[in-house]
Amino acid sequence: MPLDPRSQTDPVTASAVRAGFQPRLLGREIHYFDSIDSTNKFLRQAAARGAPEGTVVLAEEQTAGRGRLNRTWESLPGVGIHLSLLLRPPAPAGPLYLYTFLPAVAAARALRAVSGLPVFIQWPNDVMLRGRKLAGVLSEARSSQGQLREIIVGVGMNVNHTPADLPASLRETATSLAMASGRTFSRAAVVRAYLGEMDRGYEALRQKRGGEVLEAWKRLCPSHLGKPVRVQGGSAGTVRGCTRGVDEDGALLVEREDGGLERIAFGEVRRVRAL
């Protein structure tokens, strides 16, 4: 596919990201592709060949961008950000779920900082703007001999999409910074802000200050406590009730209408009122 002309005026190449950027750990090495199947897939293979911690992979377009559970991530050139980065946490790594909360916090903060828009998180790591999905995170961990060896953190962010850029199936559920504000934003600036946030948060995790990441997640995810929800997951397929926080593994606690407490380790919040 020829590249969208918007990728020329707002490039998200390695050199565009590096302009004015002082990488600490993350982003010292950046690989850029005009088109690739999936940045997570590429980085998993690079990690197996010994790529250093902090390696970042960016692609203008993904032809097989992946979500969780074999779902697809629509990865449009010229308007979106498709980024993966490699972490190699020291042992003991601490609670794994914080490594899935962290990129949502980093993405939400970066998108807020660049746009000033009210970006929130929906459990566990969907990034939402006015009830629609703005960004998604796919963290893939590899362990061996009971030790966490590496985590590939993939994020897809919708920045300059117009409604016409989205497939019909996503027009009611997805949004972009541009759709919500009528303005366009520098994708490289969003990437720099995200890498800076990830760096800070990852340092907190390595220094056993995971509580800071959890507190930031809670502030950005007000629907985790005391809000009516319908969640896909749990013992009965779909749970309706009121959120009662997250437990020590990051599972969502939902008090059902019959008073029972449901613990949802894997699932998806389908409906939250008043967000």
Give the residues lining the site for ligand BT5 (CB under 6 A).
38-40, 62, 65-69, 71-75, 82-84, 133, 136-138, 154-156, 158, 170, 174
User: How near is the Cβ of 92 to ligand BT5 at its closest, in Å?
Assistant: 27
CB of 203 to ligand BT5, least distance (A): 23
CB 232, min distance to ligand BT5, A: 11
User: Using CB atoms, what's the residue nearest to ligand BT5?
Assistant: 136
Query: In what helix (H) or strand (E) does residue 9 lie, and over which residues does it extend?
Result: helix 6-9
Minimal distance, residue 89 CB to ligand BT5, in Å: 19
- Which residue, among 220, 215, 218, 221, has the nearest Cα to 272 in the 3D structure? 221
Q: Mind giving me the DSSP string for 175-215?
A: --HHHHHS----HHHHHHHHHHHHHHHHHHHHTT-HHHHHH
- Whichever of 63 and 147 has its CB closer to ligand BT5, that residue is 63
**Which is nearer to ligand BT5, 73 or 120 (by Cβ)?**
73
Min dist. Cβ of residue 176 to ligand BT5 (A): 8
Closest listed residue to residue 60, CA positions, set 9, 18, 103, 109: 9
Q: Which is nearer to ligand BT5, 122 or 243 (CB)?
A: 122
Q: Output 1 or 91, the one with its CB closest to ligand BT5.
A: 1
Residue type for position 187: R
SS3 44: helix
Tokens encoding 121: 């998180």
Element (H, E) at 30: strand 30-36
Give whichever of 15 and 173 is closer to ligand BT5, judged by the CB atom.
173
Shortest distance (Å) from residue 82 CB to ligand BT5: 4
Element (H, E) at 59: strand 56-62
Residue pair 88/149 in contact (Cβ under 8 Å)? The answer is yes
If one counts every other C-beta atom within 10 angstroms of the C-beta of residue 122, the result is: 21
Choice between 171 and 256, CB closer to ligand BT5 = 171
Q: Least distance in Å: CB of 33 to ligand BT5?
A: 11
73 or 101: CB nearest ligand BT5: 73
At 268, the amino acid letter reads: E
DSSP conformation class of 25: S
